[in-house]
Amino acid sequence: MKTLLITREGYNKLKKELDFLWREDRPEVTKNVTWAASLGDRSENADYQYNKKRLREIDRRVRYLTKCLEQLKIVDYSPQQAGKVFFGAWVEIENDDGDTKRFRIVGYDEIFGRRDYISIDSPMARALLKKEVGDTATVETPAGIAYWTVNEIEYVKDAE
């Protein structure tokens, strides 16, 4: 079960994608389907088949995004979060070998296409929650237990 939280930035991005699909992409593809259908034999009409498939993909994504946006809870930065790792935080961590990582803890629907975002549901994020700078998090990984020390915690104040 994924946690139904999202940053305001992530919510706005999903909303923008939904608006684009519904107002621009779908009407264009629908027009192409109508045009391709007017050419006659649909069984061998690549334009028709491709655009029908694309239309199904758009509709599936629109349904998914609509459902998501209804269920997700936007989490804005709160001053009480300062100094501790919570949802929406940018965190820099370091292990005993001196390897450092920097990422933002966000909702599941925000991690795609971003290498510097991790899901709030990930073992790393769970281990880091409520930690402060200097604290060490114990993370269970497939390779065994890993220890990471929190170097820095930063929050982006989301603009509405």
Q: What is the pLDDT of residue 47?
A: 87
pLDDT, tens only, 16-26 = 999 999 999 99
- The neighbour count for residue 33, using CB atoms within 10 Å, is 19
Model pLDDT, residue 160 = 45
CA distances from 131 to 20, 118, 119, 138 (A): 39, 16, 17, 11
> What counts of helices (H) and strands (E) characterise the chain?
4, 7
Residue 53 pLDDT: 96
Residue 158 confidence (pLDDT):
55
User: Mean pLDDT score of the chain, rounded to an integer?
Assistant: 92
pLDDT on residue 66:
96
- Specify the pLDDT at position 156: 82
Rg of the chain over Cα atoms, rounded to whole angstroms, equals 21
Instruction: Give the model's pLDDT for residue 113.
Output: 86
Q: What is the pLDDT of residue 61?
A: 97
What are the residue ranges in the chain where pLDDT is below 70?
Answer: 1, 158-160
- 75-84 contact pairs (CB < 8 A, 24+): 75/5, 75/6, 75/7, 75/8, 76/8, 76/158, 77/155, 77/156, 77/157, 77/158, 81/155, 82/155, 83/132, 83/133, 83/153, 84/130, 84/131, 84/132, 84/153
Could you give the count of Cα atoms lying within 13 Å of 70 in the half-sphere of its Cβ?
Answer: 6
> 99, 73, 75: which is closest to 88 by C-alpha?
75
Question: What is the model's pTM?
Answer: 0.82
